[in-house]
Amino acid sequence: MLPLDNQELVPETPYIWRAKRPEQTHRLICFPHAGAGAAAYQEWVPLLPPQIELVAVQLPGRQNRIAEEPFTEVAPLVTVLGHALRPVLDGPYSFFGHSGGASLAYELTRALRARGARGPEQLFLSAQPAPGESGLARLHDLTDEELTAEVVSLGGVDPEIAEDEDVMESLLFTLRADFALWELHEHVDGPPLDLPITALTGKEDPRAPLEHVERWRDFTTGAFGTELYPGGHFYFLEEPADVVAHIAGRILTPATHGRTA
């Protein structure tokens, strides 16, 4: 077992929560889904091998930053993160992002490459259709009742929590802002990346069907693979051990998977 201090995500800066491991040779930097904070990845920490240090990104408007206004535009958020995450971008690292966090991981990777900075070794993009895929229902302009029902049906909020009006008032504000961030974002085409991408999704995810996440293959000239897991939109929280084991395996044995047909 790892020592206790290596198994807890600890806030180091406003944007960085880290389970520090002096023996690490690679960092896995995780981006949360809409409305979620860095603590969403706490259960991943003891599942990772000692060589991989987990860093979770904490955005304004959630948990210990609940009083701060969420970002409303992608470009300023990416610019801020490019500077705020520099303390953990000084060695080999990979990005994992779930849902809107996958889009954020991708856009930050593009920005880092564009300015010649060191980018991630690999991208793990979870439960998010590739840019340009259409047909998903927009959530940010639903009524409070409709939005609550939608996130409960997806599994993002427990029904018991949904009945607490005070909790839901602040949660819906952040959720709505996060959904608007990506639903109103206009993707700008550019050259494909040149690093391995793994696209992951749940078999019963209505917002990220396999045929939509498979299109991430068009956004890299590197190796590409897909992974399909039992469960819905939040499959990665329901059975994290298999997901984490797969990601760790890819990191420790990089670029062994080929592009899927």
Active site residues: 99
Separation CA 257–CA 254 (nearest Å): 8
Indicate the pairing of strand 26-31 with strand 93-98. Answer: parallel
Residue 57 in tokens = 């990104």
Q: What is the DSSP letter of 194?
A: -
- From the list 39, 25, 38, 35, the residue with the least C-alpha distance to 85 is 38
129 Cβ contact partners less than 8 Å away, ≥ 6 residues apart: 136, 207, 208, 209, 212, 213, 215
Distances (CA, A) of 53 to 18, 78, 91, 207: 8, 22, 11, 30
Which residue carries 């494909």 as its tokens?
192
The torsion angles phi and psi of 48, rounded to 5 degrees, stand at: -90, 145
Distances (CA, A) of 12 to 15, 18, 19, 166: 8, 7, 10, 29
Which residue carries 């059975």 as its tokens?
239
Separation CA 67–CA 63 (nearest Å): 9
